[in-house]
Amino acid sequence: MSRADFIDISDAFTQWLGFANAGMLNRGNLYCFDRAIANLPGDAPVVEIGSFAGLSTNLLVYYLRRHGRSNRLITCDRWEFEGARPGERIGESPVKFDAYRAFVRDSFLRNVRFFSGDRLPHTLEMSSDEFFAAWREQARATDVFGRMVTLGGPIGFCYIDGNHSYACARRDFENADAFLEPGGFILFDDSADGTAWEVCRVVAEVAADGRYELVTRNPNYLFRKR
């Protein structure tokens, strides 16, 4: 399946959401979200690494709602972007990267409150390393909406869309794998065949590992833990 050849299950809501909610999302991920959430092995949380302006967060909530799943959605993002240069202007514009970061964070809050206000996720302003360290310690933390949440325990589905370097993507996988319950899912964003992202190396290693089965390549890779 090529990057241009995938199952697209877009519906009226996902299309209208995409018009208003900024984000960089391959439409094939909708099928992956839907399939993983429909087949979650239990009530363990869904975890999202990297939230940007909330598009994928709102979609995960949408499919949890559609399938009548009560699993919590817990996400993390520090809104520190690859290639950003704090203190500098973006190109020849008057906009500085610091202001851009604040704008995207504020957009996340506004978008998620509007589209998922009936079941807000718990979003932690943490890097993935900080998040998984807190998860391992079963820490209590305050989310970006001012609510307390206790972390830790098994994970049912992890969507990895953080730093795309090999080292970071590999570490995100290893951290998620430590808590993912049997039958749980991992989806790697930007992992389609033919892309230049280093996460593709991680996907190849997971596929060769034997502990995970490939569920679909649409065109990003969705795995299920055996």
With a CB cutoff of 8 Å and minimum separation 6, the contacts of 96 are 87, 88, 89, 90
- Enumerate residues 6+ apart whose C-beta is below 8 A from 176: 47, 49, 132, 155, 158, 160, 186
Confidence (pLDDT) at 5 = 78
8 Å CB contact between 103 and 52: no
Domains of the chain as residue ranges with CATH: 28-225 (3.40.50.150)
Output the pLDDT for position 82: 85
Q: Tell me, what's the pLDDT at 2? A: 46
Distance CA 177, CA 174 (A): 5
Token pair 């390393």 in the structure block, residue: 129
**Residue 75: predicted pLDDT:** 98
Q: What is the largest CA-CA distance in the chain?
A: 51
The terminus-to-terminus CA distance of the chain in angstroms comes to 24
Q: What is the pTM of this model?
A: 0.96
Query: 10-residue block means of pLDDT along the chain (226 residues)?
Result: 75 98 96 98 98 98 98 97 93 97 98 98 98 98 98 98 95 98 98 95 96 98 98
Say how far apart CA 103 and CA 159 lie, in whole Å: 24
The alpha carbon of residue 149 and the mean position of all alpha carbons in its chain are separated, in whole angstroms, by 18
CA gap 199, 207 in Å, rounded: 12
- The pLDDT value recorded for residue 4 is 55
| Three-state secondary structure string covering 72-112 | CEEEECCCCCCCCCCCCECCCCCCEHHHHHHHHHHHHHHHH
Q: Residue 85 in contact with residue 97, Cβ under 8 Å? A: yes
Angle (CA) 188-32-133 rounded to 5° is 40
Give Rg (Cα) of the chain: 17
